[in-house]
Amino acid sequence: MQKVFRILNEEGLHARPAGALAKTAAEFTSSIEIRANGMTKNAKSIMGVMSLGLSKDAEITIVASGEDEAEALEKLEQLITNKFQI
């Protein structure tokens, strides 16, 4: 399953929020990908997430597939809407 989000952080997805996203994604067994700007990256990889170079207002699609995909998307949604404050 997948869902589209918008990045709300003023400074985009730099090291800290990208780290928070990768860390959260890694808590799940499902494979989780993040798509943006025509690229697809492993959401569990901080380098992958950072390398998308996402600034504020960028649109991303998160694709999760596996047993806990629904939970994973829910948790990631919380994180993104909270501007990555864990």
Q: How far apart are CA 85 and CA 16, in angstroms?
A: 10
Among residues 2, 6, 53, 77, the one that binds another protein under rule CB under 8 A: 53
x/- binding map, residues 8-47, to another protein, per CB under 8 A?
---xx-xxx-xx--xx-----------------xx-xxxx
Residue 53 CB contacts under 8 Å (≥ 6 apart), including other chains: 12, 37
Q: Which of 3, 14, 35, 75 is catalytic?
A: 14
Q: How far apart are CA 31 and CA 22, in angstroms?
A: 12
- Size of residue set near another protein by CB under 8 A: 20
Question: Which spans of this chain sit near another protein (rule: CB under 8 A)?
Answer: 11-12, 14-16, 18-19, 22-23, 41-42, 44-48, 50-51, 53, 55
